[in-house]
Amino acid sequence: KVSEEGMLLKVNEGNIINCVTYGHTFDSETLIFTGEIVTFVKTNNANIVQSGSIVMFAGDDTFENSSNIVSGFVNTNNGFIKDCYSLTSLINTDAENTSFFGSVGTVAGFAIANTGVIETSYYAGSLTPANLSSGVFVNNNTGTIRNCYYDGEATPISTGADALTNESMKAKTDDFKGK
């Protein structure tokens, strides 16, 4: 279940190592929710290492509620994240519907806010349409982001991470899998 609490934890105060959350929802009607969708941990105040999130939200109508926050890995990172990934996707399955995201509040592929450190991590999900004003990797960064990247061909905007081509992304991801 994807919830406001985070799929794994609401608040991480310890060490999370080698964990993955996954799931999906397909909806042919308006997907309306209140609050936040967090696919891994809502707030990280400690350490997350070698972990990931693979969640897909797909629909052919409108994803709406202007107060919502949708994050692909953590909502807020105040701690340390290393060697992690998000493959979370928000996908419009109706090419005719150009307002799929309706009035969604804040969307980010990896984190909504970062005041800590995110290192050697990536986002390779999909946010469609790609013309969102939110940050693809991190929406609001006042911390440190090192050696992080995202698929720049699928999602052309970001805060704090390097955009890579599909070929470069595959090479980086293959290197990442070897850790």
Residue 105 pLDDT:
60
Residue 18 pLDDT:
96
Kindly list the averaged pLDDT for each block of 10 residues, start to end, along the chain of length 179.
Answer: 60 94 66 63 95 80 57 92 90 59 67 94 75 68 91 59 71 60
Q: What is the dihedral of CA 164, 168, 173, 178, to 10 degrees?
A: -140
d(CA 76, CA 108): 11
Residue 48 pLDDT:
97
Residue 121 pLDDT:
94
Residue 6 pLDDT:
60
CB neighbour list of residue 171: distance below 8 Å, 6 or more residues apart: none
Residue 111 to residues 26, 40, 76, 141, Cα–Cα distance (Å): 23, 10, 6, 9
> pTM of the prediction?
0.79
